Amino acid sequence: MNKWILIILVLFGLFILAGLISLLLFDGKKVGIGNGIAIISISGVISTNGNGESFLMGDLGASSTIIVQQIKDVEDDPYVKGIIFEIDSPGGTVVASQEIADAVKSLDKPNYAVIREVGASGGYWVASSTDKIIASPMSITGSIGVLGSYLQFNQLFEKYGIEYERFIGGKYKDLGSPYKETTNEERELLQKKINVIHEYFIKEVAQNRKIDVSKIREIATGEFYLGSEAKEFGLIDEFGNRETAVELMKKELNITEADVFEVRREIGFFELFGGLVSYNFGRGFASQISKIDLENRFKISI
């Protein structure tokens, strides 16, 4: 058999396989008559451009873009009577965490958070935006703090005779550059920005949890708390897991039966096929090289 015909047949077979997998595993819509309780997963580091969970690539973090759309979908679906956010996240970027938290607060349907292993920092911000938080006594929660950091290479450059030439328009254009020593003035400026974000985070949690802001400020040291400690501070409401949350929600909805289903990211036919053929080849080459400078600069996360 001609090798080109064989190659075409193999690719066609992969194309059909990708379509079948897409239909079986990645249809995130649930159609039915009755009482649906939707489970939305927030797993991994939260960012605006994460890709969520992929059949081919595993857990690539929690994308605020995807999660916000999922929230809108279940809000608009009359079949869904309540939403449970299953959280296992150490936090992430400030904007992405806020986008999800704001979308949660806009819900008109009962919504709970279940913290599994970790619901800290940005993950806790999202959890605090729900109506009720359920966690294990041993879950890691809280960590109401802000982190700004970057590596500094200027002394290494000096050792090997490498010089950093500055051509900037604007005094602080290269603020947070790893290639030069940070001045005291720059440190003070960066710290002020961190403080502003921290205070905003504190006020959001206080408002969400209906706790006096001064009390939240006392425990907002960035320290993480076990679920057993968090309950004493009022950071969570109940001990338990997904099943606990489902039973509590059924009670609130005054129903005895519910169809509990997971909302998944919908992956299109061509997107899945493209990933199957080329993901491992293309990932991390030109796209990663272009990010090197940005990733080494000062980064803020919660």
Q: What local confidence, expressed as pLDDT, does residue 118 receive?
A: 97
137 and 167 housed in the same domain: no
Q: What local confidence, expressed as pLDDT, does residue 4 receive?
A: 65
Which of 9-23, 55-69, 197-211 shows the lowest mean pLDDT across its residues? 9-23
Angular region, 115: left φ>0, alpha ψ -120 to 50, beta rest: beta
Which residues have a Cβ under 8 Å from the Cβ of 177 and sit 6 or more positions away? 164, 297
Q: What local confidence, expressed as pLDDT, does residue 203 receive?
A: 98
Instruction: Report the candidate in 299, 281, 280 with the shortest Cα–Cα distance to residue 291.
Output: 299
Residue ending a domain, among 186, 220, 254, is 220
Is residue 289 situated within a structural domain?
no
Q: What local confidence, expressed as pLDDT, does residue 294 receive?
A: 47
Averaged pLDDT for residues 46-61 = 62
Mean pLDDT of the chain: 83
135 and 154 housed in the same domain: no
| Residue 263 token pair | 């909302």
Inter-residue contact 86 to 244 (CB < 8 Å): no
Q: What local confidence, expressed as pLDDT, does residue 279 receive?
A: 38
Chain centre to alpha carbon of residue 165: 37
Residue, of 99 and 171, whose pLDDT is higher: 99
Averaged pLDDT for residues 176-193 = 90
Averaged pLDDT for residues 122-149 = 96
Averaged pLDDT for residues 163-188 = 88
Enzyme catalytic residues: 121, 173
Averaged pLDDT for residues 216-237 = 97
Averaged pLDDT for residues 8-36 = 60
- Say whether pLDDT at 98 is over 80: yes
pLDDT bin (cut points 50, 70, 90) of residue 12 is: low
The letter for the amino acid at 287 is: S
Residue, of 102 and 11, whose pLDDT is higher: 102
The letter for the amino acid at 188 is: E
pLDDT bin (cut points 50, 70, 90) of residue 289 is: very low
Domain, as residue range, for 32: 28-143+223-265
Residue, of 117 and 281, whose pLDDT is higher: 117
Which residues have a Cβ under 8 Å from the Cβ of 118 and sit 6 or more positions away? 87, 88, 89, 90, 139, 140, 141
Is residue 93 situated within a structural domain?
yes
Q: What is the DSSP letter of 153?
A: -
56 and 130 housed in the same domain: yes
This prediction's pTM: 0.79
Is residue 297 situated within a structural domain?
no
- The total domain count for the chain is 2
Query: From CA 7, how far away is CA 271, in angstroms rounded?
Result: 20
